[in-house]
Structure 1
């Protein structure tokens, strides 16, 4: 059997074209750097944070990373993102559907603000679905055996004491992933998700009004695994596994990067 280009080069994404939504900061930024370091021919960062996105692309190198403004809540933005990528680089091999938001408040079901919930769902559930839809269409049209990885959350696998709308939205992401993995299997397209435990990112630091070290201390009680702190590189490593040929026969998996989550604790 002939060796793949990644096998021959030792790089796990050699020659691949990848999109990372929410790639301007946090998990997405870490994933974009890792994809580039692992030989991706082009990494397209999509985000609404233009200045940060451009900075990330420049730090990676504009010969192998570009930034495209994209609000995943807007269907035309997502269509444009995918079309520009295909027109410029010929195909899409990988998309990491990572863009998402936290709930603005830790409301319970009895307090549920439906307008707020719509806002959370517009990004986390509907926006992610649009990214999966248009990336999958491009992969099918290009006859690409692609890999789609969604960022979910452990809040999408367990009930939570607060942050009901966020938990609901991440359950929706896992449901989307599972349905897409069934529907796209006949095209050889794999669809998986990663579900991190709580960790320090610019989003959670702003939400908790705390620095990274304090946020890490807050979230440490939600993991049984001691001696290691969950950071963005740990999540990016899991995304890389699912995006690469290392997981060539893995689809429909929600890979929990949670250090054995303590189920009686609340999460963001």
Structure 2
């Protein structure tokens, strides 16, 4: 099926290295240059779209796609999305290379690996997570809308923003309230406000969100080898398996397509295998449970 994405310019955010102050573990968060973002980029390119793939520090995983599809179809562009000037520069570079951005996919995020309850969470960690996941999403979305104001009617007809949220934004996540709060704000308060604002600029413009549960990305590969972890992670998931990056990428592309989703806006598509919530009581916690 033709998704009518031929030559549509899509900007995908997404690759961060952060929180090294909190951990010796490499905190590379898959974005346009890894995991979900890489699979999404590949799928858009196969549909004939043009891609600006944003990265923060490393774009080497994009090399094969650039070699396969050509620099006239994909641009790797560096920016610190927490900087207003960098965001403006990112769009200027994208527009100059591939034409006006028509679809925005906000895929970047960080999440410190350490479980840190709110009672002991450092303000620095909270601010860094919120700034990276939420404030940067605001800056990118704002610049996209500002550019959209000057787009042609044809360009505005394809306008769409797709956010990548998380099941943590719906259910919360103990020990990661910073990440859960940033995703919840993105998925609901921010996205639902934007879907009413974008139409003032582009009458057919749409805003939606894809919210994955556990996904088999390179970052999660080691954890998903642990059967105890897998049992806990999938304990309330009827499909009893993590998603593949492809599962998330297809939903992003579908929501970006006016052909398939032209009357879909303000929706959060949960790509979570049917998750009903998180297992709260496990191991020693179960000793305090009452018998029903």
The TM-score, its normalising length taken from structure 1, stands at 0.86
Instruction: Evaluate the alpha carbon distance shift between residue 229 and residue 165 of structure 1 in structure 2; reply closer, same or farther with a 3 A threshold.
Output: closer
Would you say 1:65 and 2:57 are equivalent positions? Answer: no
**Match in the other structure for 1:47:** 55
The equivalent position to 2:9 in structure 1, one of 14, 17, 23, is: 17
> Equivalences for 1:1-268 in 2 at 5 Å?
10-22=2-14, 23-40=32-49, 42-48=50-56, 49-143=58-152, 144-145=156-157, 146-174=159-187, 175-186=189-200, 187-188=202-203, 189-205=205-221, 210=222, 213-214=225-226, 217=230, 219-226=233-240, 229-245=242-258, 246-265=260-279
Q: CA deviation at 1:87?
A: 2.4
Q: Is the 8 A contact 1:85 1:92 kept in 2?
A: yes
Per-residue CA deviation, residues 28-56 of structure 1 (Å, 9 max, x unaligned), is: 1110000000111x111101123334454
2:283 is matched with none
Partner of 2:27: none
Which whole-Å CA distance do the structure 1 matches of 2:129 and 2:174 have between them?
17
State the 1:202 CA deviation: 2.9
SS in 2 for 1:141: coil
- Give 1 or 2 for the bigger CA radius of gyration: 2
* Contact 2:75–2:97, Cα closer than 8 Å, also in 1: no
Residue 211 of structure 1: how far off its partner (Å): 6.0
What is the count of residue pairs matched by the alignment? Answer: 252
In structure 2, stretches of 5+ residues that fail to align are 15-31, 281-292
Structure 2 length as normaliser, TM-score?
0.79
Equivalents in 2 of 1:249, 1:74: separation in Å?
Answer: 33
SS at match of 2:276: coil
Q: CA RMSD in A?
A: 2.1
| SS of residue paired to 1:15 | coil
Alignment correspondent of 1:4: none
Unpaired segments of 5 or more residues in structure 1? 1-6
Give the distance between the partners of 2:52 and 2:71, measured in 1 at CA.
Answer: 10
Question: CA shift at 1:224, angstroms?
Answer: 1.9
Secondary structure of 2:250's counterpart equals helix
SS of match in other structure, 2:171: coil
1:214-263 CA-partner distances (Å, limit 9, x unpaired): 4993643352224x541100000110111001110111111111111131
Q: In structure 1, the residue corresponding to 2:60 is in which secondary structure?
A: helix
Quote the Cα distance in structure 2 between the aligned partners of 1:214 and 1:53: 29
